[in-house]
Chains A and B, each alone.
Chain A
Amino acid sequence: MSKFLILPLLLFLTACSSVEPWVKPYERAHLADPIMAFARDPVSNNYIYHVYDAREGGRGAGTATGGGCGCN
């Protein structure tokens, strides 16, 4: 499954500079708000995912990253 994803990913990466962002960096006040973070507190988040991973048969794809202020 991972093999299948690598090629589209590489194409994705090489096209990275040509798209005009429609949310400007100075318009990211809401997205940068801590309440919009996927995981405000990694230690606490990881613990609850660990509880589920340990007691359920399903595993993986537990967390997401991204968003934030887009600074620098």
Chain B
Amino acid sequence: MNMKHRWIAPLLVLALLAAGPLQAKEVSGPAPDFTLKTLDGKNIKLSELSGNVVMINFWATWCPPCRVEMPKLNDLYNKYKDLGFVLLGVNVEQQEQPPRNFLRKRPVDFPILMDKGNDVSKLYDVVAMPTTVLVDRSGNMRYLHQGYKEGDEKIYKKMIKQLLRE
């Protein structure tokens, strides 16, 4: 029994590692339109932002990588907002209190939209937390990034710069 077990584990490891790393996927098609209310009470409609590069980030306070990502997103927003870049933080929680508590201590400058019914999450087929979608100036989806690991903001930066140049 011991001899057989020696090779099972390494074999499993190789099989599982065979898949490639998570990177930004290229996607296409018009970005589905939606209207959501921000924490400030304003309504934001995606199609009205046409002409800007829009980054839609689905997040929640209970998701640790999402929390780590927020200040990085804030830096990106402040760096490129005057060049026609808009960042929408779509919170998928059912209540406003947890994101409000979180943002009170760690505020951001970009709008936070509440997707309480999860309609927009379903519309964009969110299968990972966090999920980041980049929409170009014509309103088409261009990149999809699932999850967040330290250093992913460099990928975002590259994609934003490219779309801003178009």
Contacts and interface: CB of A to CB of B under 8 A. Distances in A.
Touch test A–B (CB under 8 Å): yes
A24 to B, nearest CB: 7
B4 A25 contact: no
Chain A interface size, as a band, is 10 to 19
B63 interface: yes
Interface string B128-144: 11110000000000000
A2 interface: yes
Interface in A46-65: none
A39 interface: no
A29 B121 contact: no
* Interface majority SS (helix, strand, loop, mixed), chain B: loop
A21 B129 CA distance: 14
Contacts of A25: 126-129, 131
Given A71-B64, A71-B128, A26 B118 contact: yes
Given A69-B62, A69-B64, A71-B64, A26 B4 contact: no
B1 A71 contact: no
Interface residues of B, number: 31
B17 interface: no
B92 interface: yes
Contact of A70 (B1, B93, B129): B129
Contact of A26 (B5, B8, B60): B60
Interface in B78-129: 92-94, 118, 121-122, 126-129
12 contacts: A3-B1, A6-B8, A13-B16, A25-B126, A27-B118, A28-B62, A29-B60, A32-B63, A69-B63, A71-B64, A71-B148, A72-B148
Interface of A: 2-3, 6, 10, 13, 21, 24-29, 32-33, 69-72
- What 4 A-B pairs are tightest by C-beta distance, nearest first? A72-B147, A26-B92, A32-B62, A25-B129
